């Protein structure tokens, strides 16, 4: 079984990064955005780290940790090195940097965790479908590769707490943006969605009066919105954020309403995988994740890689 992750459109993502501009400063100290009820971008070209466009206003940074539930510092004396495994080509999360070394949001987060735990950290890139087998055969200690937590994978590996989630959002043309979206607001509206996706299932369950228009892929769905053939599209907010801010969108569109994170449809989130029973490492990573967030380093990383917030 191949582990699941966020859906991605590699060709589209590669074109997007070229449309991102340079920003010299990072924003910090922002609070997380609430998910709206009901309830896998540019490739950063191998020549460098993805860079962000200047922000007209502070964007929302998601918060996945409850400050009232501070984890106790575990015994870290048994940890001397953490061998992280990640994917070869999933920008901006994982990609090969200009110096030939692993780079991306996941890689920078892994290094921050190792600094917090004060252990040596290595990062090895492998094809995504080989990562779980490599972990099981002790060729690494942890997988940080935008791997979606699922019951099937929980049977093979243990996961840390989620370090991000992949929300769903609506996008519309800029002249028809709605600050809030509820099922009754979309009665009779044409909504594009990927056929057979969790997003389509969600719309069928929750937005029963909308007129659904299924498309075979992201490119076709987004082209329909750009041409005005549909009123809205609904999909993976991370991919949509990069498209909205990239050259392929032609500056046509923007998000409408807030994020939807219903776990029954959109999953439990993205976690770091460790071998079954490796509670020492799992607890150490959970503690370090909280510390990196508490110190504002997670916020800095998020703003560095995501110029348009998916939340």
What is the model's pLDDT at position 271? 97
Supply the Cα-derived Rg of the chain in whole angstroms. Answer: 19
For position 23, what pLDDT does the model report?
33
* Burial class of residue 80 in the structure, from the number of CB atoms within 10 Å of its CB (0-12 exposed, 13-18 middle, 19+ buried): exposed
Picking from 121, 118, 122, the residue whose alpha carbon sits closest to that of residue 74 is 118
Provide the pLDDT for residue 3: 61
pLDDT of residue 25: 31
The arrangement of strands across the sheet holding 270-275 comes to: 120-126, 81-87, 142-148, 270-275, 157-159
What's the whole-model pTM score?
0.77
Edge-to-edge order in the sheet of strand 253-260: 211-215, 190-194, 232-236, 168-173, 253-260
Is 190 strand, coil or helix? strand
Q: What is the pLDDT of residues 168-218, one digit of tens each?
A: 999 999 999 999 999 999 999 999 999 999 999 999 999 999 999 999 999
Low-confidence ranges of the chain (pLDDT < 70): 1-60, 62
**Calculated CA dihedral for residues 94, 150, 7, 197, nearest 10 degrees:** -170
Q: Three-state DSSP class for 84?
A: strand
pLDDT at residue 304 in the model: 92
């Amino acid at each position: 079984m191949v582990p699941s992750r966020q859906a991605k459109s590699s060709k589209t993502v590669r074109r997007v990064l070229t449309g991102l501009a340079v920003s010299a400063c990072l924003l910090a100290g922002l609070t997380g955005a609430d998910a709206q009820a009901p309830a896998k971008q540019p490739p950063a070209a191998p020549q460098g780290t993805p860079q962000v466009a200047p922000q007209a206003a502070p964007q929302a940074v998601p918060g996945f940790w409850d400050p009232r539930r501070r984890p106790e510092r575990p015994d870290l004396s048994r940890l001397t090195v953490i061998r992280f495994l990640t994917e070869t080509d999933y920008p901006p999360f994982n990609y090969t940097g200009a110096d030939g070394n692993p780079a991306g949001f996941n890689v920078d987060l892994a290094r921050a965790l190792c600094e917090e735990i004060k252990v040596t950290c290595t990062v090895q890139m492998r094809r995504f479908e080989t990562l779980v087998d490599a972990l099981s055969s002790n060729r690494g200690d942890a997988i940080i590769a935008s791997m979606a937590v699922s019951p099937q994978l929980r049977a093979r590996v243990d996961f840390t707490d989620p370090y991000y989630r992949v929300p769903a959002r609506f996008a519309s043309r800029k002249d028809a943006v709605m600050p809030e979206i509820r099922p009754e607001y979309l009665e009779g509206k044409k909504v594009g969605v990927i056929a057979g996706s969790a997003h389509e299932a969600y719309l069928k369950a929750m937005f029963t009066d909308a007129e659904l228009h299924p498309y075979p892929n992201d490119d076709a769905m987004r082209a329909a919105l750009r041409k005005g053939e549909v009123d809205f599209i609904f999909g993976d907010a991370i991919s949509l954020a990069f498209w909205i801010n990239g050259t392929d969108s032609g500056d046509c569109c923007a998000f409408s309403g807030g994020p939807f994170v219903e776990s029954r449809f959109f999953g439990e989130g993205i976690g770091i995988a460790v071998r079954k029973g490796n509670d020492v490492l799992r607890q150490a990573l959970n503690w370090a994740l909280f510390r990196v967030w508490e110190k504002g380093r997670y916020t800095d990383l998020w703003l560095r890689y995501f110029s348009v917030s998916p939340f």
